[in-house]
Structure 1
């Protein structure tokens, strides 16, 4: 679901991207990469306050190590 969200983000379908990131976050609530891309999507939809809060949360989770490693496993 995460990679589908990235594809939708890259093609400018920010609402659809958020839907995919939400599915990913439903299963891995602290998944920094999904939070980061969701925050970028929210910013593109002019939801700056929500985007900033999620971006800061993604930064904290990234620093904790809740991200993909090279082998694509959490």
Structure 2
């Protein structure tokens, strides 16, 4: 089964950046992840990402390692 990030329109997904540092986001399953700031943005069940800075969640060291290992 595809994750919410994988189910997003690829054109939209490629154009999304972190609203805090304007950098690239990586696929983190049902979230988009900024490894530089260690924050994740949720994607709702309709495939719409919540890119509000105040709604981003902090990511633990363990999650960071898991998310970035996929990209390596």
Q: Normalising to structure 1: TM-score of the pair?
A: 0.32
Q: Which is helix-richer, 1 or 2?
A: 1
Q: Normalising to structure 2: TM-score of the pair?
A: 0.32
